[in-house]
Structure 1
Amino acid sequence: MSVMRFFRSALFILILSVSLSSCFSRYIISAKQVRKHYASKEVKPQMKIIRNDTLSLCVASVGADTLPMLLLIHGAPGSLWGYMNIMDDPDLQKQFHIVSVDRVGYGKSRLKKRRSVTSIELQASALLPVLALNHSSQKIIVLGRSYGAPIAAKFVSMAQEKIKELIMVSPVIDPEKEKFYWFSKWGRNALVQLFLPGEFNTATAEKYSHADELRKLLPMWQNLDVRTTVIQGGNDWIADPSNIEFAKKHIRSKRSQYIFLENAGHMITYTHADMIKEMLLRSRLFQDKITAVQLAP
């Protein structure tokens, strides 16, 4: 009987692991997929690993480093390749030094002796060496998506004098609106984790500390003094749509704007790529000037 229970438990864990991997596989792009994607493209991102005594940080960049930097920060799970559509855009390549980064705990990015880093402050400070890659002497635009949005905001707060604009897309920033699902607790099971990609386990660790980490950021929002744009979809099943109301309440900067896309989901940087491109190219407050999408009233 105990043998049967063991095999049933093992089978359940295996099926659950496969299901979880399948569910979130679209957020992870394999090295094989990257090679296939860029096989026939004339412009390919340059890969670099920034190293110091405590950090290894993997970045991909395209565009001359004498152009103003556009820094892209992914969510959880995710990778720097989640922004391929932005890196591949020829118009953006001519205007920006586009840098997409693997956050620590993802891809080849690591803090010494630590697989996952749940601290938003540590995640943000680990990105500061990226600034040295740019040689334009111009202020940069920082775009963070989903779980990358609060990290982007914290990064900006650490280097405000060097920042031109902060853009948060589908942000998960309200500590009282953290979403959990039926499978969330299984992602913490040690046996299940053995069958899951490391990025999924890192994302799970971040998720269960995220609300507490967001509470630590509460004093930060009112001190943001850079141009800030928040974009939220009304059909987002990952980031509660009310996150945009949190942003309106806590961000005190007069140079802020809020765009609510009633029918959009979570992956706005793909589904509304033309709007994002237009925003970046205009690089100014543009809510009344967007032509690529119809905004909700």
Structure 2
Amino acid sequence: MLKKILKITGVLFLFLFIGAYWAFVSFTSPNSDEKVLQDFTASRIKPILSIEKFKNFEYRKLTLQKDTVLPTLVFVHGTIGSCLDFSSYMKDSLLQTKVNMISYDRVGYNFEDKNNVQENIAFERDLLEDLVSNLKPEKTILVGYSYGGPITLATKKRFKKIILLAPAVYSKVEPMPWALNLYNWKLTRWLVPSIWQQASKEKLSHKADLENFESDWKSNPNKIVSIHGTGDWIVPYSNSEFLEKQFPAQQFELITIKDASHALVWTNFEFIKEQLLTHID
């Protein structure tokens, strides 16, 4: 009887594990073009999805343009992430009346992407600068979330403003989660979904890459706003405190959300939306 119970329990556990793994892979994998556009079915203004090229790479871009006179928010996602990370903002009816918006998949995170992540902040910065090259700098606001923070901060070009959301900019406080070992160990790497393998590679190289930039963040010529939660353990709040010490008060503003986690882009949507509306003027 005991053997029978253990056997049934083992089978149930196996099916639950397979189901949970399948759901995890499906939920975190990049969406097809059709599914991306479906996300905006109820939106009053529909974005244009395009495939752009930078050097030998292709990437997917969502553009929501209402009026060329309006400023443009350019969103840069983190690790792991996609252009849909900011869909709530791009679908918001009030924001749609105030700004144009662009979001894109970084190389390695596109749907069925044949390329690996580049593990290089300089490459990501250059792609971003190429992406916005046709926009008026004085009307362009860069919004970098998590790993997207150092990408926007690495530019030396002038823009209307840079808004950082929980930016990962300081190597000494970069946490390395135990789950990265699943990618590091060859015996378990096959268990890691392909998109998470890309994220793991980028995470593992991020700390060393930051050391090439973090002593020179202060040379960024733009006005910078950093919004960060004190409950963030994925990208600790001390990242933004580190930045605050590098800039004069008139150039840098730190906005603190008490107890907010690294998911603040979603969990604190209304607050961040209000901040975006405040800083587009």
Query: TM-score band (shorter)?
Result: 0.7 to 0.9
Map of 1:247-262 to 2, 5 A cutoff? 247-252=243-248, 254-262=250-258
Paired residue for 1:177? 173
Q: Which residue number in structure 2 is paired with residue 126 of structure 1?
A: 127
> Which string of whole-angstrom CA distances, capped at 9 and with x for unpartnered residues, describes residues 93-152 of structure 1?
222220001111111597xx8412101111111222211453x56431011111111112
Unaligned runs of 5+ in 1: 1-10, 286-297
Residue 227, structure 1, aligned to residue 223, structure 2: yes
Check 1:146–1:53 CA distance in 2 against 1; reply closer, same or farther (3 A cut): closer
1:162-192 residue CA offsets vs partner (Å, 9 max, x unmatched)? x111111111111011112221111233454
Matched residue of 1:59: which SS? strand
202, 209, 231: which one aligns with 1:206: 202
Separation in structure 1 between the aligned mates of residue 102 and residue 224 of structure 2, nearest angstrom:
19
Superposition RMSD on alpha carbons, in Å?
Answer: 3.0
What is the Cα deviation at residue 153 of structure 1?
A: 0.9
1:103 match: 106
Q: Deviations over 1:63-121 (max 9, x none)?
A: 236132210000100101010001101221222220001111111597xx841210111
Over 3 Å counting, the alpha-carbon distance change for 1:243 and 1:105 in structure 2 is same
| Higher deviation after alignment, 183-192 or 88-97 | 183-192
1:235–1:20 CA distance, 2 compared to 1 (3 A): farther
* Aligned-partner Cα distance in 1 for 2:277–2:64: 16
Matches of 1:250 and 1:16 in 2, distance apart? 48
Q: Distance in 1 between matches of 2:181 and 2:18?
A: 12
**Equivalent residues of 1:177, 1:243 under 8 A apart:** yes
**Whole-angstrom CA distance in 2 between matches of 1:21 and 1:29:** 13
Alignment map for 1:43-62 (pairs within 5 Å):
43-62=45-64
Are the equivalent residues in 2 in contact too, given 1:78–1:199 (CA < 8 A)? Answer: no
Does structure 1 residue 149 correspond to structure 2 residue 152?
Answer: no
Work out whether residues 234 and 260 of structure 1, in 8 Å CA contact, stay in contact via their aligned partners in 2. yes
* Residues 1:97 and 1:192: Cα distance change in structure 2 (over 3 Å): farther
TM-score by length of 2: 0.83
- The 5-angstrom pairing of residues 213-292 of structure 1 reads 213-252=209-248, 254-283=250-279
SS in 2 for 1:126: helix
In the other structure, the counterpart of 2:31 is 30
* Equivalent position of 1:140 in the other structure: 140
- Retained in 1: the 8 A contact 2:169–2:214? no
Q: Which piece of structure 1 moves more, 63-72 or 25-34?
A: 25-34
Shift of 1:196: 3.5
In the TM superposition, what are the counterparts of 1:54-93 in structure 2 within 5 Å? Answer: 54-64=56-66, 66=68, 67-93=70-96
Measured against aligned partners, the alpha-carbon deviations of 1:35-81 in whole angstroms (never above 9, x if no partner) come to 55333444322101112542212110112361322100001001010
Q: Is the 8 A contact 1:50 1:57 kept in 2?
A: yes
Q: Distance in 1 between matches of 2:185 and 2:19?
A: 10
Look up the SS of the partner of 2:234 in the other structure: coil
- 3-state DSSP class of the match of 1:127? helix
Letter in 2 for 1:84: S
Give 1:153's aligned amino acid. Answer: L
Deviates more, 1:204-213 or 1:233-242: 233-242
Three-state SS of the structure 2 residue aligned to 1:250 is: coil
Query: What percent of counterpart residues are identical?
Result: 26
Q: Which amino acid aligns with 1:64?
A: K
Asked if the contact 2:74–2:141 (Cα under 8 Å) also holds between the matched residues in 1, the reply is yes
Query: Aligned in 2, Cα 1:235/1:16: closer, same or farther, shift over 3 Å?
Result: farther
Partner SS, residue 219 of structure 2: coil
2:107 alignment partner AA: V
Amino acid in the other structure paired with 2:270: D
Q: Which amino acid aligns with 2:142?
A: V
Q: TM-score, normalised by structure 1?
A: 0.78
Supply the AA of the counterpart residue of 1:78: G
1:87 counterpart letter in structure 2: M
Q: Judging changes above 3 Å, is the alpha-carbon distance between structure 1 residues 142 and 20 closer, same or farther for their aligned structure 2 residues?
A: farther
* One-letter identity of the residue aligned with 1:266: H
- Decide whether the 8 Å contact of 1:56 with 1:109 is kept in 2: no
